[in-house]
């Protein structure tokens, strides 16, 4: 976050293209650091706390997650009945996650509209004794528990809901610009200089700049990765990215759940748990939306616990091999049940099948090995962002990156603080973004403007914040101009 020295008194005049572009880039980099830096810092800090919690969560909720019972597990249907005895037989099961390993509990999740989007009530059952081990709210396809859900909400939206998500989108929108801009500034500033005695203040500035630049270079790949993956989770930019992926055919394959042989599968959304989407709910039957008919009311069906045993067996017979699976029932006629592998560590196991609950025949089967390369990269990117792809190593890398990013931002602010007392030229009371823009030759202004406009449309929060930057720019220039006039009059 370098604060440039003031432009010469003829700042409004055109400069050589390279010098003018670097002056503009330096000013943009400074503004991003000054105004967006705090939001990037918060995102890095809360994200670091989030990835540190899996082991702590296992300790905090150990009574619900683990069991010391020894013996043969009861049928899954009996475990589900034990959960229904707690919630009531009329409650709809959202999903079931059988105990993946000995010593762990089965999780039976029930839909509850009062809990909010992507949240469900989970009853934890000892698969051997059928004892109820826990009853709590879980979140998303990852099934995270309350403490980690709170941290996730803090990281994503500062506990302010959708309105708070603007902050994380702002951070992700500008992070890659700051990273690449910093690299360009570092490359162009590496010039051999004649050794000379520097003042203590200049020495401190140089020291802060070296630390800030060095950390930026070390963290560059991570900065770009987290900016890209963060944008796919965002509200407005994420929607635009989703439209682009759909247009280019880059969507992740999903199993077909309609029993209509002519129906097509709806692509999966890797970020569904972060959106209040209808697809997250367990009972969203398809409707006949023909032009000349009212939407048909689908016939409701009863879901019985013994059906879970049969569906799981059919899925196992078809090749679902992972220990960690999730079964989602269908509560309407014409819909298939789904059994999905949910082990998103390495190697990734996320194959899925849909099963006709009447005949127990496989309706559709998706295999991760057959996913397009971009769909695989998206899956891995999401899981790496959350710190679950490579287990403890993934967590360690994210913690190092998060702390490094926070330190880099701190060094940037220190550099700004050391340079803020530099006096301004009376003829140029404030070096502003608009002034540096005026020095850029017209032949360079045109492509910069087109690129900026395209980014502002694609990344709306970036566009809105850029307007705010310019308004602050004008206000700052006018205020300093008035101050200089007052000083001149007094002098």
**Whether 404 contacts 215, CB under 8 Å:** yes
Q: Are the C-beta atoms of 4 and 26 separated by less than 8 Å?
A: yes
Is the predicted pLDDT of residue 243 greater than 90, yes or no? no
Q: Is the dihedral of CA 53, 59, 62, 64 positive or negative?
A: negative
| pLDDT tops 50 at residue 398 | yes
Taking Cα atoms as reference points, which of 68, 39, 181 lies closest to residue 128?
68
The residue behind tokens 């009945």 is: 81
Give the tokens for residue 13.
């005049």
The answer, yes or no, to whether residue 53 has pLDDT greater than 60, is: yes
List beta partners, residue 343.
349
**Following CA atoms 204, 206, 212, 215 in sequence, which dihedral angle do they give, to the nearest 10 degrees?**
-110
Closest by CA position to 339, among listed 372, 300, 308? 308
Q: CA 267, 270, 375, 101 torsion: positive or negative?
A: negative
In what helix (H) or strand (E) does residue 138 lie, and over which residues does it extend?
Answer: strand 132-139
Q: Kind of pairing, strands 352-355 and 325-328?
A: unpaired
Cα(433)–Cα(435) distance, integer angstroms: 5
**Fold for the domain defined by 62-144:** Nuclear Transport Factor 2; Chain: A, (3.10.450)
Q: What is the pLDDT of residue 491?
A: 58
C-alpha pair distances (Å), 266 with each of 254, 256, 302: 6, 7, 24
Residue 461 pLDDT exceeds 50: yes
Q: If you average pLDDT over residues 16-26, what whole number do you get?
A: 89
The larger pLDDT score, comparing residue 128 to residue 6, is at 128
> Please, is 230 exposed, middle or buried when counting C-beta atoms within 10 Å of its C-beta (0-12, 13-18, 19+)?
buried
**Which SS3 state, helix, strand or coil, does residue 392 take?**
helix
Instruction: Examine the pLDDT at 297 and tell me if it is beyond 90.
Output: no
In this predicted structure, what is the pLDDT of residue 481? 75
CA–CA dist 96, 72 (Å, integer): 19
- Full-model pTM: 0.85
248, pLDDT greater than 90:
no
The answer to whether residue 307 scores a pLDDT higher than 80 is yes
Domain borders along the chain are: 17-37+161-190+197-231+396-490, 62-144, 253-270+299-370
Beta strands in 257-416 (DSSP E): 325-328, 337-341, 352-355, 362-366
Which pLDDT band holds residue 1 (cuts at 50, 70, 90)?
low
Identify which of 378, 73, 385 has the alpha carbon closest to the alpha carbon of residue 245.
378
Q: Is the pLDDT of residue 281 over 70?
A: no
The structure tokens 């996913």 sit at 371
């Amino acid at each position: 976050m370098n604060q440039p020295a003031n432009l010469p008194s003829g700042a409004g005049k055109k400069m050589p293209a390279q010098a003018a572009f670097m002056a503009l880039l330096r000013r943009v980099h400074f503004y991003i650091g000054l105004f967006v830096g705090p939001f990037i810092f918060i995102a890095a800090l809360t994200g670091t706390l989030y990835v540190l919690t899996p082991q702590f969560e296992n300790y905090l909720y150990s009574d619900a997650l683990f069991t010391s019972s020894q013996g043969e597990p009861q049928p899954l249907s009996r475990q589900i009945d034990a959960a229904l005895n707690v919630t009531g037989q009329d409650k709809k099961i959202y999903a079931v996650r059988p105990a993946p390993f000995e010593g762990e509990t089965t999780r039976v999740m029930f839909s509850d509209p009062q809990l909010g989007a992507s949240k469900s009530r989970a009853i934890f059952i000892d698969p051997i004794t059928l004892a109820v081990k826990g009853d709590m709210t879980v979140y998303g396809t990852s099934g995270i528990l309350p403490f980690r859900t709170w941290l996730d909400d803090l990281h994503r939206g500062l506990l302010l809901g959708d309105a708070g998500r603007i902050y994380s989108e702002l951070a992700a929108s500008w992070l890659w610009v700051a990273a690449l801009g910093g690299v360009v500034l570092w490359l162009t500033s590496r010039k051999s200089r004649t050794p000379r005695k520097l003042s203590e203040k200049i020495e401190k500035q140089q020291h802060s700049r070296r630390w800030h630049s060095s950390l930026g270079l070390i963290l560059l790949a991570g900065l770009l990765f987290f900016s890209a993956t963060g944008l796919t989770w965002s509200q407005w930019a994420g929607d635009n990215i989703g439209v682009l992926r759909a247009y280019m055919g880059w969507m992740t394959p999903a199993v077909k759940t309609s029993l209509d042989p002519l129906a097509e599968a709806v692509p999966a959304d890797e970020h569904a748990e972060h959106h209040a989407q209808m697809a997250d709910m367990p009972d969203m039957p398809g409707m006949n939306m023909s032009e000349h008919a009212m939407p048909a009311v689908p016939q409701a069906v009863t879901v019985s616990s013994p059906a879970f045993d049969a569906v799981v067996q059919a899925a196992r017979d078809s090749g679902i091999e992972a220990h960690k699976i999730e079964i989602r029932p269908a509560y309407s006629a014409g819909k298939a049940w789904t059994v999905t592998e949910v082990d998103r560590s390495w190697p990734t196991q996320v194959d899925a099948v849909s099963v006709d609950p009447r005949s127990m025949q496989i309706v559709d089967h998706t295999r991760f090995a057959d996913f397009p390369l971009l769909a695989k990269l998206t899956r891995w990117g999401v899981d790496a962002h959350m710190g679950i792809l490579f287990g403890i190593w993934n967590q360690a890398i994210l913690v190092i990156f998060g702390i490094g990013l926070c330190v880099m931002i701190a060094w940037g602010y220190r550099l700004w603080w050391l340079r803020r007392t530099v006096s301004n030229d009376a003829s140029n009371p404030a070096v502003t973004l608009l002034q540096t823009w005026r020095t850029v030759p017209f032949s360079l202004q045109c492509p910069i403007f087109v690129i900026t406009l395209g980014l502002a449309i694609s990344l709306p929060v970036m566009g809105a914040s850029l307007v705010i930057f310019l308004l602050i720019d004008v206000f700052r220039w006018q205020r300093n101009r008035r101050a200089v006039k007052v000083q001149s009059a007094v002098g």
